Structure 1
Amino acid sequence: MPILTDLWLLIIIVTITGIIAGYIDAAIQCIMLKVWGSKKSASILQLHHFTFSIGAFLAPLLVSPFYSGDDDICSDSTDDNNEPVCLGIGDNNSILTPFLISSAFIASVFILMIWLYFVDITEKIKEDNQESADEREEDSFRDLWQYFIPVILFYFCIVSGENVYQSNIFSYAACKVGWESGKASILNSIFWAGFGIGRGSGIFFSRFLRPSTYIIIDLIFCAATATFLSIYPTNEIMLWIGSFTYGLGIATLYSCGISYSHELTNVSGKWIVTFGIGNAIGAMSMPILGTGIG
């Protein structure tokens, strides 16, 4: 993507990437729910989402060394609100290198997935976990649509809240608060560190806490952090602590929502799309709305 200069070609590539990633993510979660059932799959779902947070945490650290100190993230000019105008990464930054590193890793994972497919790993796992496999029939849409509407809204809120924060915290710290780009990048990594710790600890705590209880605890964390960040929006200590605790609180909401829903009804088949709908709406709309509002 760093070598693309045509906007529409970039949009097409990003869209295709998102569609493929969505299919893969949904398929993996379907397998987990179907093979391990509602109880045993809870911690496995947390593990699945924990691996995402590892990559998200490492990404800013991977990119940071390739930022040139000669390119300022903000210019000396200001916008209509007398705020510095952000110019992006600048021409002296070798952004292609971290993309190539990531691409090599993705290619390795692709080869591994192809091998697992040909050795029929799914059937082998099913044979070893027959006692926990979920054999329930999926309920009809007529019976579930009233439940699915708030579920979609729930995922819209948590995904948009996550995306808006992690997408804008770097620019906010660099342009609004006046931090250097390296320091702002570390702040972004602090968010993902809290996010990763939240999901990592969820692997353990999800064995003892019901999904509904876990969701309530997470929401309290998020609400408290958002309140303090609103009161002290430019306080450096609050930004460090708030970024960590917000990531910690929002981390396990996604997988807990799936586990909670799977306790009520079988969502290991076509109804897995319900979570993806809320996810997609939140991911697509709120970065635009959040950036515009900010």
Structure 2
Amino acid sequence: MWLDVNLLALFRKHLWTTITYWSVFISFGLCIAFLGPTLLDLRCLTHSSLQEITWVFFAQQFCLLVGSTLGGAFKKSLKLCLSVLFTSSLIISMVFVIIPFCRHVGVLAVVMAVAGLSMGCIDTISNLQLVKIYKQDSAVFLQVLHFFVGFGALLSPLIADPFLSDTSCIQANSTLNGSRNLEHIRNSIVPHHPGNMSHYVLPLHGPAQTNVAYAFWIMAAINLPVPIAVFLLMYSKGMVPGCEHKRGSLLTADELAMEIQKGNEISDSQMTETQEAQRDKGHFYCCQSKTFWNAPYTFFAVHVCSAVILFMTDGIVGEYSGFVYSYAVEEPLSLAHKTAGYLPSLFWASITLGRLISIPASYKMAPRTMLFINLIGVLGAFLFLILSQNTMAGLFIGTAILGIFISSVFPSMLAYTEDILNYKGCATTVLVTSAGIGEMVLQILVGMVIETQGSYSFLVCGVSLSALAFTLYIVLLVLDNLHPRELNETSLKTSEPGKDEKPYQQ
């Protein structure tokens, strides 16, 4: 039978909760993708230079990392998690409304920093809660979760495009160098690497005329159902003050194991005092337990190895989407600016398509098998790009292949790492934060290499990073075989027969 009966029963029980977590990630996708296309119009609203406005990227990304780390601190109760998700998704709608009224780049940076904190909390909490609910079956649900990120990231540029200015939206008396090729400047803007904007000069003084405010207000309206859905979930669980007809808390490991084994529902009110005490230890439970401090070296090595792999792969996503346009318009391809502008859109569309394909694939394949296919595909895509570097068709085909294969690395790695560590949820915060750091830092490093070594180094960096990620994956497989599974089972107090077998293996 293609669908597992126990999995369907578990999904039906947590249907509204799961859909809510999925929908919250649409907010994440909307907020992470709108800044690039609208940056020139925001420059006009704030009357700032290109170098000044690109630092708004840094404010958002840095606070996203902070929010990702803080998100793990809210996991000790479901009520706290849902409260943070409600607040974060509501803040994102408010940010969309407020942005058009920001008339100074410093104010805009503060607003985007607040949005980044909200995005980070959403990222960590949603991943963490799905892992805690579905455990060894979480891979397919994580794939759906990250599909909605891609969906939101595709949606926001489409909404913004009709409202973007075709000419410099600051009406100056004279047209300065660079204002005649606004689309080229827009595509050349790279997050976290403002130095490449120094040779573009646009007007700073004069009345600003732009309709981009309507795009932000439309996105605010589209995002508004998300906090409403979270609020309804809180209400259904009796977590709204004055409506406390139910009690909500996280499923513990004991409860979920009993649920899968026996197929019956266990209410939160039946938790033992021991389970309550374990839950109340909160964010630092993994560090407080004797298992952590007495853990073998493989416990720490798995965390480090998985984190570095995601540092590389998410860094590849960031640097490729940021620099593929600049690579295409330079030698040896020298594509037209309009043609090269389709490459970042093709890359993100391929990522979204790949995540859609990965949903049924992850149900049939183990996370480590998915990772093997993905990382081999990423390395193969870069080798194909190098071999066909002088052809436009090769660049477009290679970009599509890269997007499809790199799309599901993060959810597969998260599911595989938690599988090795027996789904305690301790690794989620580490992996989410490491991925965010990689996306920010590698853009800066690769940008510096391109400036000093030339455009060809763009693909060389990609091959090097993907080869290193695949090598570390082999190391992770070795660590998986060396890591003592019975230690994890004892710490979780589960003695289910066959528990040490790999889930999903066919």
1:227 and 1:68 map into 2 onto residues whose CA distance is 38
Q: 1:217 to 1:92 in 2, by over 3 A?
A: farther
Does residue 119 of structure 1 match 2:223?
Answer: no
Q: Name whichever of 48-57 and 172-181 sits farther off.
A: 172-181
1:288 and 1:211 map into 2 onto residues whose CA distance is 31
Counterpart in 2 of 1:49? 146
CA contact (8 A) 1:159 1:282 kept: yes
Counterpart in 1 of 2:163? 66
Q: Aligned match of 2:306 in 144, 151, 161?
A: 151
Q: Aligned match of 2:432 in 256, 273, 276?
A: 276
Counterpart in 1 of 2:348? 192
Does residue 161 of structure 1 match 2:258?
Answer: no
Number of matched pairs = 283
Does residue 131 of structure 1 match 2:260?
Answer: yes
1:62 and 1:30 map into 2 onto residues whose CA distance is 30
Counterpart in 1 of 2:394? 238
CA contact (8 A) 1:49 1:255 kept: yes
Q: Name whichever of 207-216 and 183-192 sits farther off.
A: 183-192
How far the C-alpha of 1:273 sits from its partner, in A, is 0.9
Task: Work out which of the two has the higher radius of gyration on C-alpha atoms and give 1 or 2.
Answer: 2
1:16 and 1:166 map into 2 onto residues whose CA distance is 24
**Bigger RCO (CA 8 Å, 6+ sep):** 1
Q: 1:68 to 1:10 in 2, by over 3 A?
A: closer
Q: 1:186 to 1:34 in 2, by over 3 A?
A: same
2:234 and 2:340 map into 1 onto residues whose CA distance is 41
* Corresponding residue SS for 2:364: coil
Q: 1:230 to 1:87 in 2, by over 3 A?
A: farther
Q: 1:97 to 1:165 in 2, by over 3 A?
A: farther
Counterpart in 1 of 2:456? none
How far the C-alpha of 1:23 sits from its partner, in A, is 1.2
CA contact (8 A) 2:354 2:407 kept: yes
* Corresponding residue SS for 1:131: helix
Counterpart in 1 of 2:108? 10
Q: 1:84 to 1:35 in 2, by over 3 A?
A: closer
Query: 1:23-38, aligned counterparts within 5 Å?
Result: 23-38=121-136
1:173 and 1:164 map into 2 onto residues whose CA distance is 14
Letter in 2 for 1:114: F
CA contact (8 A) 1:187 1:243 kept: yes
Does residue 248 of structure 1 match 2:404?
Answer: yes
Gaps of 5+ in 1: 76-82
* Corresponding residue SS for 2:157: helix
Letter in 2 for 1:146: A
2:116 and 2:213 map into 1 onto residues whose CA distance is 20
Identity %: 22
Aligned-residue CA RMSD (Å): 3.5
Q: 1:224 to 1:84 in 2, by over 3 A?
A: farther
2:357 and 2:131 map into 1 onto residues whose CA distance is 20
Gaps of 5+ in 2: 1-98, 168-179, 186-196, 239-246, 264-274, 279-284, 451-506
Does residue 140 of structure 1 match 2:292?
Answer: yes
- Show CA shifts across 1:18-68 (max 9, x none): 222111121112221111121x21111100001111122233333333344
Q: 1:19 to 1:124 in 2, by over 3 A?
A: closer
1:69 and 1:6 map into 2 onto residues whose CA distance is 22
2:443 and 2:223 map into 1 onto residues whose CA distance is 25
* Corresponding residue SS for 1:72: helix
Counterpart in 2 of 1:179? 336
How far the C-alpha of 1:234 sits from its partner, in A, is 5.5
CA contact (8 A) 2:318 2:440 kept: no
Counterpart in 1 of 2:374? 218
Counterpart in 2 of 1:96? 213
2:437 and 2:380 map into 1 onto residues whose CA distance is 25
Counterpart in 1 of 2:96? none
2:401 and 2:340 map into 1 onto residues whose CA distance is 17
- Show CA shifts across 1:135-159 (max 9, x none): 9995526522222111111111111
CA contact (8 A) 2:123 2:432 kept: no
TM-score (norm 2): 0.50
CA contact (8 A) 1:155 1:278 kept: yes
Counterpart in 1 of 2:119? 21
* Corresponding residue SS for 2:181: coil
Q: 1:114 to 1:167 in 2, by over 3 A?
A: farther
